[in-house]
Amino acid sequence: MEKNSRIYVAGHRGLVGSAIVRNLKQKGYTNLIYKTHSELDLTNQAAVRKFFKQEKPEYVFLAAAKVGGINANNKYPADFIFQNLEIQNNVIGASFDFNVKKLLFLGSSCIYPKMCPQPINEEYLLSGYLESTNEAYALAKISGLKMCQFFKRQYGANFISCMPTNLYGPNDNFDLNSSHVMPALIRKFYEAKVNDQSYVEVWGSGKPLREFLHVDDMADGCVFLMENYDGEQHMNIGTGKEVTIAELAETIKDIVGFEGEIKFNTDKLDGTPRKLLDISKLESLGWKYKIELREGIKATYKWFKENYMFS
């Protein structure tokens, strides 16, 4: 990519897309293209094709998606598979038809089997059953990365994919009905402190292990891949470190300064017991994360207090 290349970031207002925009600007890229959902509905094929024909992007970061936590994924599976497939098909198809030089598709570590060997190597994809609570989202993402592989294989299109681990940071979704575990816990502990509650309820047993990557590190990894990688194999992006949900809750409790109890609601689903990515392929190319977990949570909590508007 040249510094003045026309770069389209799909989903630029979200957690992932906004971080990619920040990273590109920091690196000196000056010709960025993005549209809000009201300006361009990515589920509308005709509108997407009109946009590509008019704007002629040379590079595309496909970070737009319908996303949510375990509750939202479990409750609205039809919405998650249908809308994500629409977005992916429209953007990838238009990128091919309108001669985009390179596209990066972003997936999620939930594409891997529920009982996957750990750490999870890229080759473990489709080697077992998916976690049922996010199966719909995972199937859409698997389809997206396979589509990129097949366009590359059949037509030589330079479409690549990466699979980030659990992400967090500025512009995350802190809605308790649809958020992932990190922003949900930050909001719960903040509200418990402000309202002088005696305890915070954490869903599940607290035993599942999770890997967390700050979204600014993820964005840096994505731009690195766009600049340095052209392979057919999708690439994991993570830290290679993990914590239990109970350890995460204790860390957030300490950072927020909440002095009450933590109560685990074991009636709620735990989800996948463990999801640690094997990041050796990306590290062998010369990229490594920079932001440690506690430092990243502190920065995210600061952003939350300064920016989040409660409805």
Q: Which residues are annotated as a binding site for NADP(+)?
A: 11-17, 106-109, 141, 164-167, 180
Instruction: Count how many residues are written for the chain.
Output: 311
137 tagged catalytic: yes
Cα distances (Å, whole numbers) of residue 40 to 85, 171, 291: 16, 20, 33
The count of other CB atoms within 10 Å of the CB of residue 301 is 18
Inter-residue contact 144 to 107 (CB < 8 Å): yes
Task: Yes or no: say if 187 and 256 are a contact pair by the CB < 8 Å rule.
Answer: no
The set of residues, in sequence order, having a beta carbon less than 8 Å from that of 50 and lying 6+ positions away, is none
- Look up residue 144 and give its two tokens: 């997206």
Radius of gyration for the alpha carbons in the chain, expressed in angstroms and rounded:
19
* Residues flagged as binding site for substrate: 188, 203, 210, 270
DSSP, residue by residue, 2-59:
-TT--EEEETTTSHHHHHHHHHHHHTT---EE---TTT--TT-HHHHHHHHHHH--SE
From the candidates 34, 59, 137, 301, which is the catalytic residue?
137
Contact indicator for 116, 74 with CB cutoff of 8 Å: no
Residues marked active site are found at 137
